[in-house]
Structure 1
């Protein structure tokens, strides 16, 4: 069941001003993000597709997946993309104590940093499902992270949403500058994401947009 629309309302951004929902600039920039990877084949397909359009993106990685597929993380870095923390086990913040939640975040941090090898600072964090208690959010910010949310979400993982609707969610809602867009490089989302992403890149490239990774500093 969906609790948020494809385009995040302004009111929610006002309620949580310490989280990053979008960026402020007059330039035509979009920030593509991919959650839940790295995933064999799907993440590499995503990297190849981004490269065709000279696009950079940000990958919010699950620690467990990084342990399983370290070579994919290396490919992400070599292609010039940013890496973010997405917890160790994709835990739900609302159903997890702050202590256990932070332990999960820090476990992922250790694993991901070992792969980064100082090539990039790990300062970006996105909560799975967008779920975060106030106490968890404050603690994560105190650790030095920027909490990166989104302004547009594709709902690519929802099987009830068609490939065309997934594409429309992004095309129709990301027409303003500096939006942060969410896709998933996961098996569950692959049908819709692999249909929509090339068309999103082509559409907005023709409109004069560039795609950048979220800075990790």
Structure 2
């Protein structure tokens, strides 16, 4: 897992206070998020598992994937989950000029508008930078446009092919607490670890009286 920690350290949250890292509460609520979809078969599998636990989540979608799989995107909406912008092409902010980055975010937003009724699409203001890599200028510009930049409290590392399924599960169960924003991916690369860990995370925390809510 290298230098990136499973649980975001407090100093980093204080360093970037305009970004949302967690949603502290005393009501035993966790916030599951899924990046990089929609993806054939995998996203539907996630939706079915969430539904079996009456859990809601937030899907940070790539615009190009929505264009390829609009039916899966519609399934996310019909199941009552929230959605967020993850750029059109999964750009690395650190390697992209500000204007090009903002244009790519806008392209994803246009896909949302083409898929959702105007009254609903106007309220989609969640954004997560791919890889968590975003410059200060990009972040400030997006916040000025009305976006809430949603980062995370817990990384499952489901995408790490060198990580075992059990270790992926342990990352989430051992580090999460009420208010944690947890990152999974509904992508092919992450599917092995995610499909093992997600049902067990839902079972474990549901058994402890937790509920799973979407971010708005």
Instruction: Tell me if TM exceeds 0.5.
Output: yes
The residue number in structure 2 matching 1:4 is: 4
The residue number in structure 1 matching 2:194 is: 193
- Map 1:69-84; keep pairs closer than 5 Å: 69-84=69-84
TM-score (norm 2): 0.97
Q: Report the Cα offset of residue 37 of structure 1.
A: 0.2
**Cα distance in 2 between the residues matched to 1:119 and 1:18:** 25
Q: Deviations over 1:106-165 (max 9, x none)?
A: 000100122122335211000000001000000010111100000001000000000000
Does 2:100 align with 1:100? yes
Runs of 4+ in 1 over 2 A off after TM superposition: none
- Greater alpha carbon shift after TM alignment, 106-115 vs 156-165: 106-115
| Contact 1:113–1:122 (Cα < 8 Å) also in 2 | no
The residue number in structure 2 matching 1:140 is: 142
**Cα distance in 2 between the residues matched to 1:47 and 1:119:** 21
Does 2:182 align with 1:181? yes
**Cα distance in 1 between the residues matched to 2:66 and 2:106:** 14
Does 2:66 align with 1:66? yes
**Cα distance in 2 between the residues matched to 1:80 and 1:15:** 33
TM-score (norm 1): 0.97
Q: Deviations over 1:81-126 (max 9, x none)?
A: 0010000000000000001100100000100122122335211000
SS at match of 1:39: coil
SS at match of 2:182: strand
The number of aligned residues is 214
**Cα distance in 1 between the residues matched to 2:3 and 2:106:** 28
**Which residue of 148, 161, 167 corresponds with 1:165?**
167
The residue number in structure 1 matching 2:42 is: 42
RMSD, matched Cα:
0.9
SS at match of 2:120: coil
The residue number in structure 1 matching 2:55 is: 55
**Cα distance in 2 between the residues matched to 1:4 and 1:71:** 35
**Cα distance in 2 between the residues matched to 1:106 and 1:77:** 20
SS at match of 1:119: helix
Structure 2, unaligned stretches of length 5 or more? Answer: none
Q: Deviations over 1:2-41 (max 9, x none)?
A: 3320000000000000000001221100000000000000
